[in-house]
Structure 1
Amino acid sequence: MAQYWSGINLSRPRPAGPAPAMNGLSLTELCCLFCCPPCPSRIAGKLAFLPPEATYSLMADETGDKHNIILTERADWLYTDKEKEAMEAFYTRTSKGNRIACMYIKCCPNAKYTVLFSHGNAVDLGQMSSFYLGLGSRINCNVFSYDYSGYGDGTGRPSEKNLYADIEAAWLALHSRYGVPPESVILYGQSIGTVPTVDLASRHEFGGVVLHSPLMSGMRVAFKTQRTWFFDAFPNIDKAPKIKSPVLVIHGTEDEVIDFSHGLAIHAKCPRAVEPLWVEGAGHNDIEVHGQYLERLKKFVSDDLPN
């Protein structure tokens, strides 16, 4: 049964992070892991991406530039049609040539910050839309999000390189289309979404960064290695020291998908890390139901960031 709290949809059809170690690996892939170094990156990719069946489609208006988002029942939209009018959707192209869907939700008329949200691996924009509206209205921020290549109504296929191109295209669209400067953007990555978030934050300075259940690297999740191999995927731990923005790390102490040690390590590596939120007893997909989640985000926006 879907969980709801304060009007925010917390349902997740499948875990929002990489699948458990060794899940679905064939004997050939296991042999390749030790005999052919380039293979683990592809294996990590298979473990990480679980795009759901699309829960929405985009319908162009008379200008062809803006689109109405048509949600299916699986999107679990919790709000009224009038509230849905706060959502604007459109397509953009990535540097890899893929078409991805983007969504801008104007939650607050006088918001100082816009959250650029990179979601977990087993959801799309339709499923996240209610969560975004509820989150933004409660922390007094607008929300901009996008689907990864191969997710939702987009083209291409999910991959590590496409993740980096996807968030770059999303950021450029947010900046050029809505005139939002980098200092007014909070990058928010959840689970696999911390991968593009950390990459973009390591290359550009923003108002703030939130890393929700971050992973150190793909190999560290899948095979619990203690170092970054040259063929590793998603090396957040090596990019985190380059982030110049204030960083809030959130992690559940009983995370069954990405161990709590990953959050601890990422927090220690960020030069401008603020007081983290360690949610005692929380797993990978239920942090949002704990009251301190919204309270810490509100404090991050109001106290930890420049105002």
Structure 2
Amino acid sequence: MPPGSRTDIPRPSFYRIKDYEELIIPTKDGEKLSAFYIRGPKGGSNSKVTVIMFHGNAGNIGHRLPIARMLLQAAGCNIFMLEYRGYGISTGHPDESGLNIDAQTALDYLRDRAETRDHKYIVYGQSLGGAVSVKLVSKNQGRGDIVGLILENTFLSMRKLIPSIIPPARYLASLCHQVWATDTLIGNVKVPTLFLSGLQDEIVPPTHMKQLYHLSNAPIKIWKPLPNGDHNSSVLEEGYFEAIAEFIQRVSSEDPEKK
């Protein structure tokens, strides 16, 4: 059972988020995925921007709602939070191929939904979610509606991560048989990318993020170190949400090179 398989999932209303939907979205292989779609302020500069959030291995989408609320306040964008198969109340069992199907399901849903089909998308992944995000963007960037990628404390690959984190590897034991070769895909990403790196990360060595930054061929790439951030608390560091808000504003403009 994955760490995020608890069913007592906080809802957006608990955090005083009012304009949202709770969704159940089917996948092509028969699973049913839980998701939240949270609307930003109507008529704002980022009202046609949706951030697609992919969380890390531990917890579920409800545990990331404080992050969503801060993003709403900082950037005024819409937020789509997907629950992987086997996490929260989503059906199924998580594995690499399945999570990639889930991510594609999320993007396809937004592209097909009348409310969001003309939005610009920014894909935001934390830890394992960063690996999911890189794979998704590398496959889907050709249409031009994905305008940015945000990575936080993401690893080069699972095989390169495990030797450096024993005994903390126990927290990722359910994923150890999988590959997640982010380092071989990041060079294919051609959208602006923000790298958020907690320099006190005790699970993913910060060198992994730095190497991903150097491997990136993104037209705009931004390195944001968080000196006191560890693996799970980097979001608490000064400048974290400001960096994301500035990035969103820059890449969602008509010509990000001029910002």
Larger Rg: 1
Instruction: Give the corresponding residue for 1:201.
Output: 137
**Which residue of 1 is the match for residue 3 of structure 2?**
50
* Paired residue type of 1:218: M
1:246 maps to a residue whose letter is: P
Give the Cα–Cα distance (whole angstroms) in 1 for the partners of residues 26 and 250 of structure 2: 36
Aligned length: 235
Q: Distance in 1 between matches of 2:201 and 2:180?
A: 19
Change in 2 beyond 3 A, CA 1:284/1:278: same
Equivalent-residue separation in structure 2 for 1:123 and 1:109 (angstroms) = 30
* Pairing 1:176-191 to 2, within 5 Å after superposition: 176-181=112-117, 184-191=120-127
Residues 159 and 294 of structure 1: CA distance in aligned 2, closer, same or farther (over 3 Å):
same
d(CA) in 1 for partners of 2:61 and 2:233? 19
Structure 1 unpaired stretches of 5+: 1-45, 57-70, 226-230
Distance 1:186 1:158 in 2: 24
Question: CA RMSD, aligned part only?
Answer: 2.2
Q: Which residue, out of 248, 254, 258, partners 2:194?
A: 248
Structure 2 letter corresponding to 1:257: I
1:98-152 per-position Cα deviation (integer Å, ceiling 9, x unaligned): 1111210002213231100001211212222333133223112110011000011
Structure 1 residue 179, shift from structure 2 partner: 4.4
What amino acid maps onto 2:88 in structure 1? G
Identity among equivalent positions (%) equals 23
| 2:24 maps to 1:91 | yes
- Which amino acid is 2:148 matched to? G
Match of 1:289 in 2: 236
| TM-score normalised per structure 1 | 0.71
Match of 2:156 among 216, 228, 231: 216
Q: Gaps (5+ residues) in structure 2? A: 166-176, 255-259
CA contact (8 A) 1:103 1:145 kept: yes
Structure 2 CA distance for partners of 1:182 and 1:208, relative to 1, 3 Å:
farther
2:91 maps to: 155
Normalising by structure 2, we get a TM-score of 0.83
**TM-superposition CA deviations, 1:198-255 (whole Å, max 9, x none):** 1111111111000111111001111249xxxxx8611000010111111111111111
